[in-house]
Amino acid sequence: MPVKQRRISRMAAAAACGILALAAGCGSTTAAGKHEAKPIGSRATAPGSPSSSASPVDLKPFQGQQLRHYLLTADDLGPGYTQTETPDDKKAADPHRYDDMGVSGCPALEELGKHSDEVQFAAKTSVGFTFGSDSTLGEELHSDAPSKLAAGLRRLMHAQTSCPTYTMTSGSTPVTVTVRKDDAPSPGPDAYAYTTTLTGPGGSQVLKTAAVRRSNVMVMLVGAPALVDQHIGAAIAKLPAS
């Protein structure tokens, strides 16, 4: 693959690792070795499930290990999908791998980057897949108190969709990013979708992001638009009941 095309693919990979990538870099939530909050109550209905007696406002975050129970698998997706290394794999979890990437021309994203600690959630897990030779699909699950998830998701999505066009840089290579809001993938106030086109010297790549919060868990699916549209329903269906 030519160097310039690798630059485009690397930026696409950064976007595909979640909407926090452009603000603070992937892996900035729940870094290895840090404490992850446990769900409230000592009598969970099942491993990774919140207490049946907890009200929505009282629900505490899942642990990362518990969150993995709700990730999509290759079996969920069907034939043709191969699971790849994910950002929270131990050997792939480098918190500095996007340090040379920047954003300009979008004040909301630039401001969010200055205060990224305010939109970090208590727990995170992720998984990635390839389909065919060049299509990708990435999923992230985040967990925190429902009110914090709702507020953080609104802030993140507002920042991501507030600028129709801005510039990303990887080292000294500029890439033009265009953003289009899409119809929400699920009823309710905490559901969002948008399509991003990254265009640079090596070509263009189109990604779709869909995000939905249910109770104390939020799912984000990022990848080829057709794959996101096809599987977002299954991703939502795997979330714990509200």
116 φ/ψ angles, rounded to the nearest 5 degrees: -65, -25
- The whole-angstrom separation of Cα 215 and Cα 149 is 9
Record: fold of 3-41+54-237: Protein Transport Mog1p; Chain A (3.40.1000)
In Å, the largest CA–CA distance within the chain is 56
Start-to-end CA distance of the chain, whole Å, equals 45
pLDDT computed for residue 196 by the predictor: 92
Q: What is the pLDDT of residue 92?
A: 46
Contact 84, 64 (CB under 8 A): no
Strand order in the sheet with 191-200: 81-84, 123-131, 135-143, 217-223, 203-214, 191-200, 173-181, 165-170, 101-104
Q: pLDDT-derived band of residue 91, with 50, 70 and 90 as boundaries?
A: very low
Nearest one of 72, 164, 71 to 124, comparing CA atoms: 71
* 9 half-sphere exposure, CB direction, 13 A CA radius: 9
Mean pLDDT on 90-96: 52
CB 73 within 8 A of CB 67: no
Partnered with residue 191 across adjacent β-strands are: 212
Measured distance CA(191)–CA(40) in Å, rounded: 25
Q: How many CB atoms lie within 10 A of CB 100?
A: 12
- pLDDT, tens digit (0-9, with 9 covering 90-100), for 127-180: 999 998 878 899 999 999 999 999 999 988 998 899 999 988 877 788 899 999
Write down the pLDDT at residue 95. Answer: 57
Share of the chain above pLDDT 70, in %: 68
Cα–Cα distance for residue pair 72/126, rounded to 1 Å: 9
The upper half-sphere exposure of residue 139, i.e. CA atoms within 13 Å in the direction of its Cβ, equals: 31
Residues facing residue 220 across a β-bridge: 140, 211
Tell me the mean pLDDT in the region 183-203: 90
Angle between helices 146-161 and 107-114 (to 10 degrees): 140
* Each residue's pLDDT tens digit, 16-70: 443 444 444 433 333 333 333 333 333 333 344 444 444 555 578 897 788 999 9
120, 24 Cβ separation under 8 angstroms: yes
Q: Which pTM was predicted?
A: 0.78
- Mean pLDDT for all residues in the chain: 76
pLDDT of residue 65: 81
- How far is 185 from 191, CA to CA, in rounded Å? 6
Q: What region, left, alpha or beta, does residue 33 occupy, with left being phi > 0 and alpha being psi -120 to 50 degrees? A: left
What pLDDT does 9 receive? 54
pLDDT of 113 above 80: no
Are residues 170 and 7 in contact, defined by beta-carbon separation less than 8 angstroms?
A: yes
Residue with tokens 């791998």: 97
pLDDT of residue 29: 34
What's the mean pLDDT in 182-203?
91
